[in-house]
Amino acid sequence: MQPDEALALLKQGSAQIINESELREKLALDRPLRVKLGVDPTTSDIHLGHTIVLRKLRQFQELGHQAILIIGDFTGMIGDPSGRSVTRPHLTHKKLLANAATYREQAFKILDPARTETMCNGDWFRAMSFEDVIRLNSRVTLQQMLQREDFKARIEQQQPIRAHEVQYLLPILEGLDGSKKMSKSLGNYAAINESPSEMFGKLMSISDKLMARYYQLLLRRAARRDMHPLEAKKQLAFEIVQTYHSADAAKRTLDEWNTRFGKRDLKNTDLPTFSPGEQQDFAAVTVVSDVYRKVFQLEKSHSEVSRLIKQGSVEIDGIKIRDPKAKVALHPSQILRLDRKRAVRIGWPG
């Protein structure tokens, strides 16, 4: 492939190339490049946000280049690329290595193992002097470092930005809530090693506006304009489940979802279980918020949940609950529907 053709391919889905002329020159050398991607193993899961840059790395491999996957066993202890206004707790080196244990296996769902090397950045960062750090920082400008939208927002809100945070420049994928960056810590993620039903259900929960972004970033194309938004969302979820599991798993999950939510036959479908505490008779808004958080890892405010209840979205065994303050007693085997896309089976008190 000619350098300009390769560059055009690599530019697809890229927000910015720093800098483009240097990349074109390197591609014109007509020899394998060593292309590096660093990931901090702050959790044990690789989620869909990570897959965007992993797929870009796979594009380099398909052009004949060598991928270097760098595990941030050093930067993971001190960095905070999450975009949150509150700095996350520091992780120990032992914990980071434990989290990284499955990273290779998950990354190889996307990368070609034969063209991938793995290394830890602590191997050289621990040997660097402060002079080395200063020289490294001279390669970028402060304007580049502060261009992230979440940095701008935090400056306006007078939220602190620690000096080490500006080392992380890359905005990736919005989480399932459509606001903050996808992060397991924030509960707005879909991991690539989740079960097909979990992955499918989480993707069906995103907004129509966010769905358009997911199509472009995860499937590299737009949704069909003649397709109903619900069907387009099913197609998105189907293709992503197919990518990280199999075509059979994707078809099974789609059929199950249609049975569960299309035909409204919940009694005979495989639902996640929610086990309430021994104490019962909580307000409906409290119970529903608890299920969203504990079962689906979604943080919803009481006002959001109250609105769902008043709209008639929440049901217990088909009976709608309209009052957010109504006392709810849950019993084993009941079906609690939260909204059009989520329902749970009540288990024995935990």
Report the run of H or E that residue 316 belongs to, with start and end: strand 315-316
H/E segment holding residue 239: helix 229-244
166 vs 143: CA distance, rounded Å = 10
313 close to 339: Cβ distance less than 8 angstroms: yes
- The whole-number average pLDDT for the span 31-36 is 95
Cα–Cα distance measured from residue 235 to residue 259, given in angstroms and rounded to the nearest whole number: 16
| Positive or negative torsion for Cα 118, 140, 182, 63 | negative
Residue 144 pLDDT > 50:
yes
What pLDDT is recorded for position 44?
84
Query: Which residues lie below 8 Å from residue 291, measured CB to CB, with a gap of 6+?
Result: 274, 336, 338, 344
Burial status of residue 76 (CB atoms within 10 A of its CB: 0-12, 13-18, 19 or more) = buried
Beta strands in 13-127 (DSSP E): 34-39, 66-71, 116-120
Tens-place pLDDT, residues 305-320: 999 999 888 999 888 8
Question: How does residue 107 score in pLDDT terms, banded at 50, 70 and 90?
Answer: very high
Beta pairing, strands 335-337 & 343-346 = antiparallel
- Give the Cα separation of 84 and 87 in Å (integer): 7
Coil/strand/helix, residue 118: strand
- Mean pLDDT, rounded, for 170-179: 58
Question: What is the rounded CA–CA span in Å between residue 122 and residue 77?
Answer: 10
For the cut 60, the answer to whether the pLDDT of residue 83 exceeds it is: no
The model's confidence at residue 179, banded by pLDDT at 50, 70 and 90, is: low
Number of residues that this document lists for the chain: 350
Check residues 267 and 27 and name the one with the higher pLDDT.
27
Q: pTM of this prediction? A: 0.65
Query: Could you give the CA distance from residue 55 to residue 42 in angstroms, rounded to a whole number?
Result: 20
Domains of the chain (ranges, CATH numbers):
32-167 (3.40.50.620), 196-262 (no CATH), 273-346 (3.10.290.10)
Is the link from the previous residue into 99 a cis peptide, with omega within 30 of 0? no
Across all residues in the chain, what is the average pLDDT? 84
The pLDDT of residue 85: 43
